[in-house]
Structure 1
Amino acid sequence: MSALEFDAVSVRYGRLTAVDGVSLTVPSGQVVGLVGESGSGKSTLARAAVGLSPVSAGQVRLDGVDVRRLPRRRPLQMVFQDPYSSLDPRMGIGESITEAMPRSTSRGARRAEVARLLELVQLDPERASMLPGQLSGGQRQRVALARALAGQPKVLIADEITSALDVSVQGAVLNLVRDVQRRLSLSMLFISHNLAVVRYVSDIVAVMYLGRIVEAGPAEQVLTDPQHPYTRDLLAAAPSAHRNLLADPADPADVTAALADTEPADPHHPPPGCRYHPRCPIGPLVHTDRTLCVSADPADDAAHRPHHAACHFAA
């Protein structure tokens, strides 16, 4: 088992800061669920860990070693959102899995390992000669998982691995991921925009908004007693049979909900102070005396608040 650490990591593309000073630890043998809206920087952070995005500042460390100093075949593997685009459509799935194995492995050992990995992800080893296009989406995602495991990782990063799948298949893939993580004692960074999925698989939850972590802590604590208004808004946005779909602009509850539904700020020009204040239901747009949200960055003293919440008025 190994620990993965992000230490004040920033990723910049020209004037755009996609990830801004993120510090987060994936403890050895545990699952950290990283949740947030599209564009919040979750996938960019994951890609920085595996060397697919440039780290502009800070470090990503595996067991205390900067990942940039690790050998090319790092003990850190990633499963991507779209299993079809991550597999060569002209290569049999057995070949794709073999490609990720250490070169020193003999041909016979590689065939046996392919069969073992396919069984591990609950696929018939006889499918090894099939092409990705002959498989369903769920089966392709199982192959992508087997391919990542072929690299003998200590840490696995799963980036929205169920979002492209039918709802009927998602549960089976989640059960598989949780079973494999426990059987192999892997450390895992599990990325999703779905809080129900994150709750199911994670020991720790971190919430990301506009390139920063705004809240992090034990999964049950964060999801049952959220401290940051953005986390509460994500929870409130989950589908419910009791929500009124016709908002009343005169209802304060609907006004705050409308704020949360506002588009995030332009990441090229993030707002001053708290980045969430233009959408915040407890911020200066609702409570005009809370000018602190505009003038001071709540991330500066987040370490002193429950769940390290980056909010001046955390619950």
Structure 2
Amino acid sequence: MADADGTKMSELTFEQVTVRFGTGSRALTAVDSVDLTVPSGQVVGLVGESGSGKSTLARAAVGLTELAGGRILLDGVPLRHSSRGPRPLQLVFQDPYSSLDPRMTIGNSIAEAVPRSADYSRAGEVARLLELVDLDPEGASAYPAALSGGQRQRVALARALAGRPEVILADEITSALDVSVQGTVLNLVRDLQRHLHLSMLFISHNLAVVRYVSDYIAVMYLGRIVEFGPAAELLGDPQHPYTRELLAAAPRRGALALDAEELDPALRAVADAEPADPHHPPPGCRFHPRCPIGPLVRPDRELCQTVDPTPDAGRHRHHTACHYAAAALQAVDLVQ
């Protein structure tokens, strides 16, 4: 399905995708049996702390990282990556300066990404794309070093759009920018998605950023998706305790929650717990050593230490990988 200006909308699907690095005792499973769908014309925000596997999943989608298992499909067809021909997926990287050749003008960088088979003027297409990302086409002869960080990220977006991809993957594209610039880039991303009806996987560690642009949100922890659902519903009523912790980590966190942690030794123990070693993830639920409703607080919930909740995630609201998802809200209410 194509939009009026030529952008094709497609559904991106990850089926049991696994990515491993290294061998032996120090092998790392960065992405572990992930199922995730980016619906056609929608934005899925992928959120999680550093090391959760978000960027690895995106790199696997565009062929920069080899799969150890599973498959990635575009409109139901397995992706085949080739150095020749059109590339239906485009990845926009975190650092716009390192993703652009400093020896090439921004106009040439964008023109280089225009398909050779295009039946339209490259110069005209460069001008159109620069206007699309709110940059003056007269500046096409400038070099990346002459631009601000926000302007370089706009060029990176224009370059990604040059190939008229079916899906855009944006990996932490605002985290390297000044706070004052982040808002304008997020506005641009939202406007582009609405105008072009893009399918997009938007990756960030910041839930406030994700909530601004996403239709759906997926929460990732130690290589696995632990919660997935419509953005407004998931943020309004998160079911997984890890999602709740990400929300609680925002600056608006209330003093009552902090006071409760100080008074309750069990909750304080949870707050002080170290993240698991990704080379040797814990059995059962991977979040249980840090979970405020798990065995660290409730010794009777030893189920979390032995049984993986992922297979039964579909039984819970928001597709939540937690044995006691329904108890998460009650626990937070008690703390507050």
Deviates more, 1:97-106 or 1:204-213: 97-106
Contact 1:256-1:280 within 8 A present in 2 as well: no
Aligned pairs for 1:274-289 within 5 A: 274-289=285-300
Corresponding residue number in structure 2 for 1:181? 193
The alpha-carbon deviation at position 255 of structure 1 amounts to 5.0
- Match for residue 17 of structure 2 among 6, 9, 13: 9
- Match for residue 166 of structure 1 among 173, 178, 188: 178
Letter in 1 for 2:294: G
Letter in 2 for 1:102: P
Deviations 1:230-255 (A, max 9, x none): 00000000012743797676412x85
Alpha-carbon distance in 2 for matches of 1:295, 1:122: 53
Corresponding residue number in structure 1 for 2:97? 84
Corresponding residue number in structure 1 for 2:54? 42
- Match for residue 295 of structure 1 among 287, 306, 330: 306
Corresponding residue number in structure 1 for 2:32? 20
- Match for residue 306 of structure 1 among 305, 308, 317: 317
The alpha-carbon deviation at position 263 of structure 1 amounts to 3.5
Alpha-carbon distance in 2 for matches of 1:30, 1:257: 39
Corresponding residue number in structure 2 for 1:267? 278
TM-score, L = length of structure 1 = 0.95
The alpha-carbon deviation at position 66 of structure 1 amounts to 1.2
Aligned pairs for 1:202-217 within 5 A: 202-217=214-229
Deviates more, 1:178-187 or 1:97-106: 97-106
Contact 2:20-2:30 within 8 A present in 1 as well: yes
- Match for residue 115 of structure 2 among 102, 110, 115: 102
Alpha-carbon distance in 1 for matches of 2:235, 2:250: 12
Letter in 1 for 2:166: K
Alpha-carbon distance in 2 for matches of 1:266, 1:82: 27
The alpha-carbon deviation at position 197 of structure 1 amounts to 1.0
CA 248–42 in structure 1, closer or farther in 2 if over 3 Å, else same: same
Alpha-carbon distance in 2 for matches of 1:185, 1:278: 41
The alpha-carbon deviation at position 305 of structure 1 amounts to 1.2
Question: Share of identical aligned residues, percent?
Answer: 71
Contact 1:36-1:193 within 8 A present in 2 as well: yes
Tell me, yes or no, if structure 1 residue 52 matches structure 2 residue 64. yes
Alpha-carbon distance in 2 for matches of 1:231, 1:47: 24
The alpha-carbon deviation at position 13 of structure 1 amounts to 0.7
Paired residue total: 313
Alpha-carbon distance in 2 for matches of 1:217, 1:313: 18
Aligned pairs for 1:59-70 within 5 A: 59-68=71-80
Contact 2:166-2:198 within 8 A present in 1 as well: yes
Corresponding residue number in structure 2 for 1:229? 241
Contact 1:233-1:260 within 8 A present in 2 as well: no
CA 101–217 in structure 1, closer or farther in 2 if over 3 Å, else same: same
Alpha-carbon distance in 2 for matches of 1:246, 1:8: 38
* SS of match in other structure, 1:278: helix
The alpha-carbon deviation at position 300 of structure 1 amounts to 1.9
Alpha-carbon distance in 2 for matches of 1:303, 1:194: 25
Alpha-carbon distance in 1 for matches of 2:233, 2:156: 32
Aligned pairs for 1:106-125 within 5 A: 109-125=121-137
Structure 1 spans left out of the alignment, 5+ residues? none
TM-score, L = length of structure 2 = 0.89
Structure 2 spans left out of the alignment, 5+ residues? 1-8, 327-336
* SS of match in other structure, 2:117: coil
Please tell me the root mean square deviation across aligned C-alpha atoms, in Å. Answer: 1.8
Alpha-carbon distance in 1 for matches of 2:270, 2:313: 23
